[in-house]
Amino acid sequence: AQRVTQPEKLLSVFKGAPVELKCNYSYSGSPELFWYVQYSRQRLQLLLRHISRESIKGFTADLNKGETSFHLKKPFAQEEDSAMYYCALTGSARQLTFGSGTQLTVLP
């Protein structure tokens, strides 16, 4: 069975502070891992995926297979980063399994 765990339901940081949203996964094969973001009452948008090893809006995430983690990081948070963030993985069935989400609030 595949599972994604986001231990923090709520996370608040001040503008300009570093932020890290934690994600751990459980999957027996080689999963594809993603971070999706959902701004207030909007659709889910892909933020980044581990295969691309890219940085989007200043966010990065590194896949650590030893720790089965895919934490999302940004060195300097901005107010517009406030949103719900979902970590997700796909396995062989191509269906996304989501974590429970972390609501990030960046305070002025």
Partner 1 sequence: DTAVSQTPKYLVTQMGNDKSIKCEQNLGHDTMYWYKQDSKKFLKIMFSYNNKELIINETVPNRFSPKSPDKAHLNLHINSLELGDSAVYFCASSARTRGRDTQYFGPGTRLTVL
Residue 45 or 67 having the CB closest to partner 1: 45
Give least dist CB 86 to partner 1, A.
6
Residue from 46, 19, 44 nearest 33 by CA: 46
Inter-residue contact 18 to 76 (CB < 8 Å): yes
Residue 11 or 15 having the CB closest to partner 1: 11
Residue 89 or 106 having the CB closest to partner 1: 89
Distances (CA, A) of 74 to 16, 17, 48: 10, 9, 13
Q: Which residues bind partner 1 (CB under 8 A)?
A: 32, 34, 36, 42-46, 49, 51, 84, 86, 90, 93-98, 100-101, 103
Residue from 82, 83, 86 nearest 72 by CA: 86
Helices assigned H by DSSP within 8-84: none
Give least dist CB 38 to partner 1, A.
8
Give least dist CB 108 to partner 1, A.
24
